[in-house]
Structure 1
Amino acid sequence: MSAGQIIVLVTPLFFALMALEWAVGRRRGRQPLALADAIGSLNLGLLSQTSAVFTALLRIGLYTLAWQHLALWRNDAFWTTWYGWLLALLFYDFCYYWLHRMGHEVGVLWAAHAVHHQSQHYNLSTALRQTSSGALLGWLFYLPMALAGVPPLVFVVVGLIDLLYQFWVHTEQVGRLGWFDRWFCSPSNHRVHHAVNDDYLDKNYGGILIVWDRLFGTFKDEDPQQPCVYGTRG
């Protein structure tokens, strides 16, 4: 089963969580969902999944070629142990941090990534607002994994885990989470990432772990006195 097929299978869960978010927001007297914006996000999500039929083949195919011909160490038995899977997930998340960061700092990569940030609302539908062209250059950032001998199957699975994890952090209905916020990408941390406030701009790139941002100087804590303003700058 491909990653795209798994995304399709979990889509009903995405919609169920979006409905729950809407219900919680209504109960709290806050409207978390703007219908026109949500429809726009869903359309972009559908477009990205349609294009993924082709871009995923390109991304995985190029990764497989690099793994076959450039791997410096081949030990599939290691990478398929529980600790090998865990290491591969950490490795992927590290590479994702740099892809995500460069997606904000390099013009051609931002051109692909900007669509994810253009909504002026922040809710679970925003997570579906994905690029259709990011994979064209994004695969380059995962070449270190191929060089380290991470098998293509492991690469695909941990990449899917990293992607699915990031869905739930796109909400304003979950507040601060204490110790969890210090280690992991959380709704609080990711709200900062989507904000265009001067103090928040270009911060908190981590996919699963926020530790990378703390290590490389791109972390910013959410300030209750400075509400996030979403969208992109002109």
Structure 2
Amino acid sequence: MNTSELIITWATPFFFALIALEFVVARVRGQRVYRGNDTVNSIGLGVMSQIAGVFTKLLTLGIYAWCVEHLALFALPANSLWVWISALLLYDLLYYWLHRMGHEVNILWAAHVVHHQSEQYNLSTALRQTSTGGLLGWIFYLPMALLGYPLEVFMAVALIDLLYQFWVHTEQVGKLGWFDRVFCSPSNHRAHHATNDRYLDHNYGGILILWDRLFGTFVEEDDADKPVYGTRAPLRSWNPLWANAEVYWATAVDAWHARRWRDKLQVWFRPPGWRPADVAARFPKPAYDIRRAVYDPPMAPAMVAYCLLQFALLLGMATHFLGLTAHADFATLLGYALYMVASLCVIGALMEGRRRAFWLEGLRTVLTAVLPLLLGRWFGVDPLDERAAATIAVLFGASAVALPWLAGLRPPEPLHAAPNP
């Protein structure tokens, strides 16, 4: 586990403490800012992002390190204060352009869209991250490598920029006066996440909102035009794999249907939502309705509790997985990653109320209960302590036994959800 992963792992309890605080404050104010299914989906996508990051380090860090060593114009010292300050400012500027291009270039939006899919806006949304952003995002930070900023400095300022952005994902902090004019703040970032015409594609700054003021992309939150969150092509699914793949798939389908080769290529590099004229005519899509009801399939309370329990167990496994990355072999890490991703997908299907999900969950829980007990080992742990194996068997065995009862429960009648304001 590298330093960044270690810090994020240790920061996770702090994140959850702030999420709990936000939940309590919102309830005291009579607001419902969290839904279990949406929160599980957002945090689950963050878990998947961390898992994917283990396998994409060669792109995100390896290429940067190679460029610093072989192509850097200067050898900047890692023990100089001005190097650290300038690195943070430059990183934030480059982040602004990566973020902006993530909204203006379709292939980059395909990765970034994950962060915007939630139709609620709370601190769990900050944890909702892409698993494919590392494929192209590293390109934007190469200027830092070419200037000679050491890898450890780059990693540190990247982490600072990322951690700063956690707290701005909330509706519980209002406008902050002068702070809103200089820094990315909750008010500024609420506008960024909104799908209203007024706010669309603005406020890209990570730490400083000054970049938006400088490059003409700033917009102020207007109390008379309450932000409506999500995307203009709503996801309407709790499947984390589909959340990462939806725009790639839609773009590939449009490219396939396009008659001109030029359109087959440019559909990837045009702004999100652009479609070749012949494709749009033959395969029209419904217009975006900002007053649509949010996606919230009904679930029986016992089913909600079951999904939350299984998700909590997966969070523990994710922490264990990250701890293994320093010494486990590739096959072990890949197998563990596939198990966790498959588990997240099954939990998502359960939250969508899909009947086949109960069969898949039954298979998952039975195998998880039985195999560690029979084999005497778990991913990266060999031999597995007998008490640990027995605990796993009891937890997942009880889960498997409960599934037939849960499958027979009727969800509450869906409320006629009020549309977005």
- Scaled to the shorter chain, the TM-score interval is over 0.9
Q: Which runs of 5+ in 2 are unaligned?
A: 234-421
Q: Distance in 1 between matches of 2:227 and 2:83?
A: 38
How does 1:110-125 map onto structure 2 within 5 Å? 110-125=109-124
Partner of 2:57: 56
How does 1:175-190 map onto structure 2 within 5 Å? 175-190=174-189
Q: Distance in 1 between matches of 2:57 and 2:191?
A: 29
Q: Tell me if the contact between 2:76 and 2:83 (Cα under 8 Å) persists in the aligned partners.
A: no
Shift of 1:70: 1.3
Q: Tell me if the contact between 1:168 and 1:187 (Cα under 8 Å) persists in the aligned partners.
A: yes
Q: Tell me if the contact between 1:75 and 1:149 (Cα under 8 Å) persists in the aligned partners.
A: yes
Aligned letter for 1:69?
Answer: H
Work out the number of aligned pairs and report it: 232
Shift of 1:136: 1.0
Q: Distance in 2 between matches of 1:59 and 1:131?
A: 14
Partner of 1:217: 216
Name the Cα RMSD after superposition. Answer: 0.9
Shift of 1:214: 0.3
Shift of 1:69: 1.4
Q: Distance in 2 between matches of 1:170 and 1:141?
A: 24
Q: RCO (CA 8 Å, sep 6+): is it higher in 1 or 2?
A: 1
Could you say which structure has the larger radius of gyration?
Answer: 2
How does 1:37-52 map onto structure 2 within 5 Å? 37-52=38-53
Q: Distance in 2 between matches of 1:81 and 1:70?
A: 21
Q: Which runs of 5+ in 1 are unaligned?
A: none
Q: Distance in 1 between matches of 2:56 and 2:180?
A: 33
Residue by residue over 1:60-113, the C-alpha shift from the partner in whole angstroms, topping out at 9 and shown as x without a partner, is 11001111111111132xx43222211100010000000000001111110001
Aligned letter for 1:139?
Answer: W
Partner of 2:170: 171
Aligned letter for 1:7?
Answer: I
Q: Distance in 2 between matches of 1:74 and 1:14?
A: 36
Partner of 2:101: 102
Normalising by structure 2, what TM-score? 0.54
Q: Distance in 1 between matches of 2:139 and 2:199?
A: 28
Partner of 2:255: none
Partner of 1:8: 9
Normalising by structure 1, what TM-score? 0.97
Shift of 1:56: 2.9
Q: Tell me if the contact between 1:80 and 1:154 (Cα under 8 Å) persists in the aligned partners.
A: no
Q: Distance in 2 between matches of 1:67 and 1:137?
A: 18
